[in-house]
Amino acid sequence: MRKIIHCDADCFYAAIEMRDDPNLRGRPLAVGGASDRRGVISTCNYEAREFGVRSAMASAHAKRLCPDLLIVPGNMEKYRQASREIREIFFDYTDLVEPLSLDEAFLDVSESQRCRGSATLMAQEIRRRVCEQLQITVSAGVAPNKFLAKIASDWHKPDGLTVITPGEVDQFVVKLPVDRIFGVGKVTAQKLKRMGVDTCGDLRQFSIFELTERFGAFGVRLYELCRGQDERQVKPSRRRKSLSVENTYAEDLPGLPQCLEKLPELFLELKGRLNRVDSDYRVVKAFVKLKFNDFTTTTLERVGTSARLHDYRELCEEAFARGDRPVRLLGLGVRFVDLRDDQVTAQLDLFNSIL
């Protein structure tokens, strides 16, 4: 039996904007194009959704629904960086990570030994770490397959966790509205409605032959999903490129000496996680990340290090000099090359032979 986690950041782009500018919190907010330039909403917070504002909606229409709506332009590089940080947290639990977009991914933790092998505890820990490190919330679903895990992550949004155990699958699915099935759009839902089908339990009254006759190849999929069956594997698009640890402090670190005092604790945590990484990775860089009290961030990295505490002290001193102001977040990390990549291995071998 597989253990699948689906993680989905809550109103991701808007959450990042509210994190970086607390004045935006508590008011209807959307990220997208200007309403006077035929812009489109990329995402919005839950205050805006109460007025009916949705993603992919024309900004002008969104403003009519919510005249007080504040629309800010997107910053994709900032969102990509946050996505990378979230993904590196995922990789601490499994290498089987399948991103669906910047803000959501499937994780197959069936073989993971983290949290005593409990997928529920892993999901709880992932959500806590994302909240602590990025100051945004993630909703998660835990289930025996991808179909149910994705539905579960949306069940108690925002900032929710829903677990569907193998023994609960049938009871959960039989009451599930058919329009919650992925691939059932408005047209298919209307067609099912005319058949007298509102729930997956209703859909089970039809044989696979009847559903295939009415819906073609999708009929087979409907037959399986209404029974909670989904054999799709989690397909990772890439392996990890880095590993890092960081901490946001309740009180800003006022100067460089205080930052240096925090390094040994972070370093030990980083070394502990590195010990769990398999031997197919080679560390090629060390880096430090500092976020100052004005929310500006700087990252400094160095090639050819074995990630020693001494290296991090030097990097921290150089990085701090860039801002020279109190620090609210301090992080340490490493960059990898993947030795499973034949091209990378060949390049390293050539480099070593030249030396």
Three-state SS sequence of 132-192? HHHCCCEEEEEECCHHHHHHHHCCCCCCCEEECCHHHHHHHHHCCEHHHCCCCCHHHHHHH
The residues pairing with 289 across neighbouring beta strands, listed in sequence order, are: 299, 331
Contact 298, 290 (CB under 8 A): yes
Contact 229, 148 (CB under 8 A): no
Q: Which one of the listed residues 47, 85, 88, 104 is annotated catalytic? A: 104
The answer to whether the annotation marks 103 as part of a ligand binding site is yes
Chain length of the chain:
355
Distance from C-alpha of 63 to C-alpha of 73, rounded to nearest angstrom:
15
The answer to whether the annotation marks 294 as part of a ligand binding site is no
Q: Is 104 a catalytic residue?
A: yes
Q: Which residues are annotated as a binding site?
A: 8, 103
Q: Which residues are annotated as a binding site for Mg(2+)?
A: 8, 103
Q: Hey, which residues are catalytic here?
A: 104
